[in-house]
Chains A and B, each alone.
Chain A
């Protein structure tokens, strides 16, 4: 199915050739951007918030890219969506292998778990990064949290994503914690309409 989708890819003369850039360019660009944010904002908390907001804007666009190309991905409920993010999203968009675990207990019958963790060890955006003293509060990869939050928001799931473990701070792996706040599937037709 996806192979056929690829063969449908347009090859008009005006369309840009699909070239991959080196991931070092991406890593260094991201580093420069974080550095600039640290320069522009007063506090590290503001930088963390800005990285999260940037990520959310990326995620809200990226979700369609992901859904259009990864066919057969299920995202009807929080469990399958989180699973897709970790297994397919991290692999196809970041090139790393991630696992999901630490599902919360199902709160009430049928609604499924409402929190889980995504674990991964490799992280290309931190390849050359050593956090200096004084920036212990910086959540360097907060953009990933934002991307996940923004992407899931587009499909009606409002989640909070926080970095629980960060290898830049000496942890043995990275862990992002996802918590589902609200799942409102379709918005239209609005029930409170007159």
Chain B
């Protein structure tokens, strides 16, 4: 399995009330660096959009937005049953690799979720729903996402 299929540019974690609790860039951005307030705005807008989009569905209990595709990046999102939302900004795959790319991005998000459960929630001094400042989580993400 090609590890370079998905290159994660940024990760955002949103708590169940729409507040940004973690964000991190994994590559130096060439332009338009997002500052803290932009990141918080992005987090809450995506959270609201994600929640409201569920109501566009004609069927009840539908899954909602999974990804957003732009010309220069893809956004992949994982919303877990306990209410936390994770999303990553990734590269754009080659046209013939779109499906593997989406699957691989979903795996990455699942691994990020596992790291969150393991290194954030297991930390007895982490207050749930509050911004994440856990060195072990940072280290786990570095091992997982940086190259």
| A contact residues vs B (CB 8 Å cutoff) | 4-5, 8-12, 14-16, 60-65, 67-69, 71, 75-76, 154-156, 185-189
Q: Is B122 an interface residue (CB 8 A)?
A: yes
Q: Is B65 an interface residue (CB 8 A)?
A: no
CB atoms of B143 and A11 under 8 A apart: yes
CB atoms of A63 and B82 under 8 A apart: yes
CB atoms of B142 and A12 under 8 A apart: yes
Of the candidates B16, B82, B144, the one having the most CB atoms from chain A within 10 angstroms of its own CB is B82
Q: Is B116 an interface residue (CB 8 A)?
A: yes
The chain B residue with its CB closest to the CB of A188 is: B51
Give me 16 A-to-B residue pairs in the complex whose CB atoms sit less than 8 angstroms apart, sorted by A's number. Answer: A5-B110, A8-B111, A8-B114, A10-B139, A10-B144, A15-B143, A63-B82, A65-B117, A65-B118, A67-B117, A68-B110, A154-B82, A155-B81, A185-B61, A188-B47, A189-B51
| Cross-chain contact of A67 among B47, B82, B115 (Cβ < 8 A) | B82
- A11 vs B142: C-alpha distance in the bound complex, in angstroms? 10
CB atoms of A188 and B18 under 8 A apart: yes
CB atoms of A188 and B17 under 8 A apart: yes
CB atoms of A8 and B144 under 8 A apart: yes
Overall SS of chain A's interface = loop
10 nearest CB pairs, A to B: A10-B143, A10-B140, A8-B111, A12-B143, A68-B114, A65-B117, A64-B117, A68-B117, A12-B139, A61-B121
Overall SS of chain B's interface = helix
Known: A61-B121, A187-B16. A4 touches B143 (CB 8 A): no
CB atoms of B114 and A5 under 8 A apart: yes
- A6 vs B49: C-alpha distance in the bound complex, in angstroms? 32
| Cross-chain contact of B121 among A9, A15, A65 (Cβ < 8 A) | A65
CB contacts (< 8 Å) of A185 on chain B: these are: 61
How far apart are B87's CB and chain A's nearest CB, in angstroms? 16
Known: A154-B83, A185-B61, A189-B48. A69 touches B111 (CB 8 A): no
CB atoms of A67 and B80 under 8 A apart: yes
The chain B residue with its CB closest to the CB of A11 is: B143
CB contacts (< 8 Å) of B132 on chain A: these are: none
CB atoms of A5 and B118 under 8 A apart: no
CB atoms of A15 and B140 under 8 A apart: yes
Known: A61-B122, A188-B18. A4 touches B107 (CB 8 A): yes
Q: Is B12 an interface residue (CB 8 A)?
A: no
| Cross-chain contact of B128 among A12, A61, A71, A76 (Cβ < 8 A) | A61
How far apart are A141's CB and chain B's nearest CB, in angstroms? 22
Known: A154-B83, A187-B16. A12 touches B113 (CB 8 A): no
- A9 vs B139: C-alpha distance in the bound complex, in angstroms? 11
- A12 vs B83: C-alpha distance in the bound complex, in angstroms? 28
Known: A187-B16, A188-B17. A69 touches B117 (CB 8 A): yes
